[in-house]
Structure 1
Amino acid sequence: MATKRTTTKPPTNPAPAESAACQPCGGSGTVAVTVRVGRKRRPVGQQDGLCLNCFGSGTNPDS
């Protein structure tokens, strides 16, 4: 029979701190991408695209 442990281990991973919002997307995870059409590639509008800085998570990857 194994002996009982009477002391507890401290947590190995502390709770993550609140991370800052991503700069390019402002925390939304999407950015506006210009849509171009025609032979001269004129801009006609914008559509939502995935933020390549945070890959859609909305948090700053450097913090």
Structure 2
Amino acid sequence: MSPPAAASRPPRPATVTIAFWLQLAVVLVLLGLAALTVAQAVHFDGQIDRAVRLVPDGASDDPR
């Protein structure tokens, strides 16, 4: 039985390797930004809840 044909492949071009690592870096940056966005949304939601608790129940500008 002969070895697989992979041994006779030419080497991978450097541009392919660079493109792979750049794409991986972009994915990691975007995942980090998504995580940061979620963290900020949770924090902002907490701030809204805190502001609602600070305002008395009858302190609305709505005359109804």
TM tier relative to shorter chain: under 0.3
Of structures 1 and 2, the one with the larger relative CO (CA 8 A, separation 6+) is: 1
Q: TM-score scaled to structure 1, two decimals? A: 0.24
- The structure whose Rg is larger is 2
Q: Which has the higher helix share?
A: 2
Q: TM-score scaled to structure 2, two decimals? A: 0.24
Q: Which has the higher strand share?
A: 1
